[in-house]
Every structure is written in C-alpha cells, then in structure tokens.
Structure 1
Amino acid sequence: MKTLINNYVNTFKGLSREVWWLALITLINRAGTMVIPFLSLYLTKSLGFTVSNVAWIMSAFGLGSVVGSWLGGKLTDQIGYYKVMTYSLLSTGILFIALQFLTSFTAFCIGIFLVMLVADTFRPAMFVALSAYSKPENKTRSVTLIRLAINLGFSAGPAVGGLIITTLGYSGLFWVDGITCIVATLVLINVLNPKTTKQLDEVKVENPESAYGDKAFLIFLFAMMFFGIVFLQYFSTMPIYYKDVHLLTEFEIGILLGMNGFLIFVFEMPLIKWLENTKFTKTSLMLFGAVLTGLSFVILNFTNWVGVLVIGMLLMTFGEMIAFPFSNAFAMDRAKKGNQGEYMALYSIAFSIAHIFGHNMGLQLIGKIGFDNTWFIITALAGLCVFLLFTLKQYLKYKKKKKEPAMVEEEDILWI
C-alpha cells in the first residue's frame, strides 16, 4: 500500500512551483463559480423567468464565452498573460456581485454575456501561462494537474452552493462567487508576479504564423468541437436518460456522476504519466479517447441492463482522461510557432461553441426522436471526430515526409 501511494505521489513530482500556484488559483476560481449550477433554478424560481427565457439566457452565456475566449487570446498576445489573468479575475468578481441586482430578462441577458466575456478572457491567458511555467516534458502532466483542480472546484462548488442557498439565499451565491474571484486575484498578484517568477519555456517567435492558416490545427479544432458536443451530453441529456428510462433516483444519479470525478482524481495523473512514456503520439491518444467516448453511447442501445450505465460512465471517463490532457498539450505545442494567445483562444472557443450547440441539440433530439436514435447520432458525431483525428494524423505524417518538421509533433518525428 505504501509503495502504491509513493508511486502515485511521484507522478506529481517535477512540476514547477508556479504550476502548483496556478492550480490553486484555478481551484479557488472554479469552486467560486457556484452560481452556474444553480443558474436555471435561480432564474425560474426567484426571477420567475420561463424555460424559453432561460434558454436564451444560456445562449447569451455561451456567446459571451466565445467572445471572451477570442478577446482573451488577442489581449494575451498584446499585453501578456499575467495582466489578462489579473484583470479578468478582479473584474469577474465585481461583475458577479453586480449580477444579482439585474432582474429583467433583457438586463440579465446582457449581464450574463458580459460576465462570461470577462471571465473567459482568463482561459487562453491561463493556458499560455501554464505553457510558460512548464518544462516541455512536463506540459501534459501540468495540464492534468489543472484539470484536477477544475474537477475538485466543480465538485466542491455545488455542495457549498447548496449550503449557501439554504442559509443566505441566492444573493449569498453572488457575493461568495465575487469574493472568491477577488481572493484568487490577490493570490495571483502575490505568487505569480512576473518580477518574482521564472519562466521555464519562454517562446519567442520572430515571424509568428497565424493559427487560422495552420491547416493541421484547424482540423484539430473541428475534431475537438465535435468531441465537446459528444462529451457534454453527460451533463445535459444523460441525467434525463438515467431518470426517465432507467428510473434512477437523484441520489443514484449523483453517485454515478460523482464516480466520474472520483476516477479522474485517482487515476488521471498516473495514467497520463504512463502514457507519456509509451510510443503513442498525441494524435493517436486523442483518437483512442474519442473512440472510448463514442462507445460509451452506442452500448446503451444494446441492453436494458442497468449495469451498462456504469460501463458507459467508465468508458466516457477514461476517454475524457486521455483526450483532454493530450489535446491541450497538442494545442500548446502548435502554439509555439505562432501567436500563443490566438492559438489557445481558438482551442477554448472550440469548446465554447460545443457548449452553445451541444446541450440544446441533445435535448431537442431526445424530445423529437427518442433516446435510442439520439445515442446513434451522438455516436456518429464521435465517429466524425475520430475521422478528423485520423485525417490529422495522416496529414502530420505527410508533412513529415515533406521535410517540414515545424508542422509536426515532436512525437511524430520519433514514432510515426
């Protein structure tokens, strides 16, 4: 047992002090965004909005995320990641506190758009900072540590949020969300000031290439958008399937979804550490993760046995654990030859677009054609993602043969 624990702890070794601080800031920030899980409930119960109103507000939410990610990338390239992260966290805290005072439909649409616009400028800047504070050989594990922080934050946030609602009401959520963002800002200023931190992988590009002209990266972005649409079904349509088809209680659904976060916390870092030492390229690993995630849906149509839900969750979780860290590391590697903020902004936007269309599409499909047909369509989208990733792998192999190493992953040079 002691050896097992030591091996687990060793998977975290070698990461820089700055990466650990960045993970703590992310944990504080994500745990603070406890308004989001209760947003629909707040809008319908407290403000009396209709479900249609809430749908439009969520569209404004997603649109703000897209614009914010794009703007964050632009600003990161112009003024640097540190300033963008600082201004984003501080401004988001103030806007979250102010959001509670908006009670009309139009005002709330504008308010949530502005909150997400400002909040998501943080994401591209954070990715660029993560790249700067990580040694090249540690980038994937650094991403994994940030994902652990995000998962812990999202796990703690709703639980604390429910307690706050019962004691302080919904207004307490907005105050706590705002204050945690401001606290995260203070931590950031004190521990990640450029004057006192050391960059481990400083990238200076004399003639940066535009991400929009990087064909391999564009193929990758479309693949990630489809993967995001598939993955997000587990947080919108799947809970309804659990309840309506398999008659699970809210407690049982919570346990099943909680298994996802627990498995990520326990297995993701050792799994990534092991995969990094194999001969597989990032594209091959992303492809495998997409295959596992697609299989998690299609198997639901072949049996009514309730145990298939656990198998599906296991497939999705391991698919997620493989696809996300290596896709993030792939994006950071590609960004080294261009404007880093622009590259990481587009990576964030791919998932923001998935948020805009994924939830709505899944919910519309189950209402019109039922769960079984919906799962086949979602599996087909996963298949499209796999096809794009396979195309990406072949394209990179072709570029390698054409003697253009700048367009190829480091692993492709060794293993393809």
Structure 2
Amino acid sequence: MSAAVRLRSTVSQAVGGLPRRFWWLWTSTLVNRLGGFVVTFLALYLTGDRGFSPAYAGLVASLFGLGSAIAAVGGGVLADRWGRRPTLLAAQLGTAVSTAALGFCQDRVAIAVTAFLVGLASNASRPAISAIIADLVPAEHRVRAYSLNYWAINIGFGVSAAVAGLIAAHGYLALFLIDAASTLACAVVVFVRVPESRPESRPESRPEQRPAGAAAAGAVAAEPPAGLGTVFRDGRFMALVAVNLLLAVVAQQGSTTLAVDMGLAGISAARYGLVIGLNGVLIVLLQLPLTRAMEGRSRTGLLVASSLLTGWGFGLTALAGGSAGFYAATVAVWTIGEIMAAPTMMGLVAELSPARARGRYQGVYSLSWSLASFVGPAAGGYLLEHAGGRAVWGACAVFGTVAAGAFLLLGRRPAPAAAPAAAGTPAAADRAADTVAAEPAASTAGA
C-alpha cells in the first residue's frame, strides 16, 4: 500500500462518519481560536508592556479565572434550560465586546474588572459546545469527536500564538481587536449553521434527529430531571473532577507563570510566542495519530501516564535557565501528556452525563478548569515572586505525581451499579462504561 493510500485511509478513519452539524461547530471553533490571542499573552502584556508586577498579572489572570468558574456552572445550567445554541451565541457576543473593551482599559481596577467579564463571557460557551457534541455524536464516536474538536482548538492556538508574538512587537491593541473579531465570526457560523441540539427540543419523528445513544424516541423524556445537586452528589464523577483540578492548576502555568518566568530570563515576547506555539503545533501533528495509538489501552494507564508527563514536564522547567530551546523541550513533554488526557477525560464526562443534564455535568467539569485558572495564576505568580521558579516547577511535579496516584486508586474502585429504573435510558447506556476503570479506552476510529 502506497504512502498516499495509507494517508487517505488514516484521514478517512479519523474524520469519517460524523454529522455535518458537528463539522460546522468544529469550523466555528477553529475560526475562534485562530484569533485567540488575549488569554495567552495577557500576563506578558501586563508585565512587559504595561509594567505591572508579576503578582498583579497573576491577580488579573485569577479574576479572569473567577469569572470562568462562575460561567462554568451558570453556562451549564443555561445550556440545559435555555438551550445550547442561545447560550453559545450570547456567550460569544459577550466575549467579543468585553475583549475589545479590555484592549482600551488603562486603569488597574478597570483592567481587573474587564478581565473578570472576559472570563465570565468566554467560559459560558464551553459547557454548551461540549453538550452539543454529546447530543449530536453517537457514544461510540464521541472520543474521536472531542479529539477532533480539541485538534481544531490547537490548530488555531498554534497559529495564533506564533503570529501574535510578531503582532505584539508592534502594539498589543491589535491583539485584542482581532481576538474580538474572530469571536464575532465564530458567532456568525453558529447562528447560520448550528441548530439547537438539546434533546427535548429536537423532533422525534425523524430517527436521525433522535439523541445520540437513545434506544427510543421517548427515552430522554423518561429520564428524571437532574439538578446541580444531582451532579455534586455523584461521588465518582466529583472525584474525577477533583483530580482534574490538580492537573488543571499545573496546566495553567503554561499560559501565565511560564510567560513571566521566560520574560524574567530575558526571553522576548516573539520568542515566547514561538515556544508556547509549539504546544499547539505538536497537538496538530500528534493528536490524531496518538489518539489512534491509544485505542484499546487501559484508561487508568493513559491517565496515569498523562499526569506524570504533565507534572514532570512542567517540573523540568526549573532546569531551563535562559535557554529557549530547553523551554521548548519541556513544552513538548507536557504537551504529550495533554494530548493523552484531553479526549480521554472528555469522553468519560460525556459517558457519565445523563442526556437531560449534559450541560450541568459539562459545566461542573469545566468548573475544575475555571477554578484552576483562578487559583493557578495567583499561586504561580506569588511563588515565582517570593520563592522563585524552582518552587513553582517543583510544585507542578508534585501535583502531577499526586494526580497519577489518585487515578490509580480510582481505577481500582468498582463502578457503582446502575439503578434498575434507569435501565434502557440514555443515562444507563452512557453510564455503562466504568469511569476510570482499567478498561480499554473507547475506540476513536471511524466504524
């Protein structure tokens, strides 16, 4: 078989068999991330261009994270009650306006408040997007769909990070305005091409319109309502969220503390953009082949390995000194951990989520990332300023090791038995897979 034939076969298996509406959502994500400059360069903008201290930059990033934390739960509830599409559109419009406004802010308080609003608006879209994918894509293809969506995010991130460093050399305002424009373009794609997917709002007369994984048209309606209390009482799911919080705190250092640390080491904004852009480039190149390589592997093993690679990848940063090449090598290590963890975790969350509460479950999972974006930058900035880089990166290695041990413990716990009343419902079908058990990961190849 020729290389061209093998390549076509690989691409076909990776992207085939997914609904057209998923691809429009994928396109909107790509458009948005191609212009996603602000969060990546916010810390460097505040310390390098505006002259604020690392501690203040960490505070602003933490306020952004606080807004994101509030939006994670609120956006999830709105996605279930109000609908996925209107929640997504409102979040994107709010993000565009607040991002543009942030570029014009001069006062310290105004910058902090507006950064909070940007976090509030931008993260409200996250549960809606994840819920739409779970609504549209059958369970056997969800890990692949989440992997492809994550791939789009990082195609945009890799391009935007590299380009943004060059744009920033001529002034940061353009970064804010282009970011806002790309978010508006994303909203236009959603408005024109992505219909509402909430299961109870979709026609049941056409089989292709039924919720993914439903055994019958009325199965979703048979599910009991699930509020936030139901989510927080789901012990196995909340344990998964807690472990993810540890890893998310580590991952947050890549877009905040790492930028400041490299700046203090005398590395320019343009070079930082190229180094951090390697994260996106590697994900673009490796996400699909590594996802295929993970098929049939133990979920516990994948999550343990990804935790160690993430934690110790950041830990190696302590040895970088002023070498941009060494910084790039550490980025490569924790990026591989990220590639392994992202689709596996998202697939697990979708499996654990009842169809009528997907927004809430995705919101609470997103809350772990939002809390990390609140705690992580502040803690990283404080440690960097008062204890030095070695303390920051050593803590990352410890957190990664603790997360790996926690995944091992979760993998040894037996999965709870499904309630008899839930048999035959989408929730029962989705929850049939063990959360983090040492089972093979869901196949990501197209059937």
Counterpart residue number, 2:199: none
Instruction: Tell me the number of residue pairs that the alignment of Structure 1 and Structure 2 aligns.
Output: 411
Q: Work out the CA distance in 2 between the residues paired with 1:48 and 1:370.
A: 19
Matching residue within 291, 315, 325 for 1:272: 291
What are structure 2's unaligned runs of at least 5 residues? 197-201, 215-219, 442-447
Is 1:328 the counterpart of 2:346 in the alignment?
yes
Counterpart residue number, 1:296: 313
Counterpart residue number, 2:90: 87
Counterpart residue number, 1:225: 245
Helix, strand or coil at the partner of 2:16: coil
Amino acid at match of 1:327: M
Counterpart residue number, 1:65: 68
Amino acid at match of 2:159: A
Amino-acid identity (%): 26
Residue 117 of structure 1 and its aligned partner are, at CA, apart by 0.9
Q: Work out the CA distance in 1 between the residues paired with 2:38 and 2:267.
A: 26
Helix, strand or coil at the partner of 2:224: coil
Q: Work out the CA distance in 1 between the residues paired with 2:137 and 2:389.
A: 43
Q: Is the 8 A contact 1:73 1:342 kept in 2?
A: yes
What are structure 1's unaligned runs of at least 5 residues? none
Q: Is the 8 A contact 1:211 1:338 kept in 2?
A: no
Residue 20 of structure 1 and its aligned partner are, at CA, apart by 1.6
Residue 355 of structure 1 and its aligned partner are, at CA, apart by 1.5
Residue 212 of structure 1 and its aligned partner are, at CA, apart by 0.3
Q: Work out the CA distance in 2 between the residues paired with 1:216 and 1:174.
A: 40
Is 1:409 the counterpart of 2:409 in the alignment?
no
Cα separation, partners in 2 of 1:275 and 1:188, compared to 1, 3 Å = same
Q: Is the 8 A contact 1:130 1:142 kept in 2?
A: yes
Residue 46 of structure 1 and its aligned partner are, at CA, apart by 6.8
Cα separation, partners in 2 of 1:249 and 1:109, compared to 1, 3 Å = closer
Q: Work out the CA distance in 2 between the residues paired with 1:217 and 1:84.
A: 24
Counterpart residue number, 1:285: 302
Q: Is the 8 A contact 2:18 2:137 kept in 1?
A: yes
For normalisation by structure 1, the TM-score amounts to 0.84
Q: Work out the CA distance in 2 between the residues paired with 1:174 and 1:250.
A: 16
Cα separation, partners in 2 of 1:410 and 1:37, compared to 1, 3 Å = closer
Amino acid at match of 1:228: A
For normalisation by structure 2, the TM-score amounts to 0.79
> RMSD in angstroms over aligned alpha carbons?
3.7
Q: Work out the CA distance in 1 between the residues paired with 2:394 and 2:257.
A: 14
Q: Is the 8 A contact 2:283 2:335 kept in 1?
A: yes
Amino acid at match of 2:177: W
Q: Is the 8 A contact 1:286 1:323 kept in 2?
A: yes
Q: Is the 8 A contact 2:253 2:376 kept in 1?
A: yes
Q: Is the 8 A contact 1:298 1:379 kept in 2?
A: yes
Residue 330 of structure 1 and its aligned partner are, at CA, apart by 0.7
Cα separation, partners in 2 of 1:5 and 1:87, compared to 1, 3 Å = same
Counterpart residue number, 1:183: 185
Q: Work out the CA distance in 2 between the residues paired with 1:39 and 1:298.
A: 23
Cα separation, partners in 2 of 1:250 and 1:74, compared to 1, 3 Å = closer
Q: Work out the CA distance in 2 between the residues paired with 1:102 and 1:303.
A: 34
Counterpart residue number, 1:383: 401
**More deviation in 43-52 or 138-147?**
43-52
**More deviation in 124-133 or 47-56?**
47-56
Counterpart residue number, 1:120: 123
Helix, strand or coil at the partner of 1:15: coil
Is 1:365 the counterpart of 2:376 in the alignment?
no
Q: Is the 8 A contact 1:43 1:49 kept in 2?
A: yes
Amino acid at match of 2:354: K
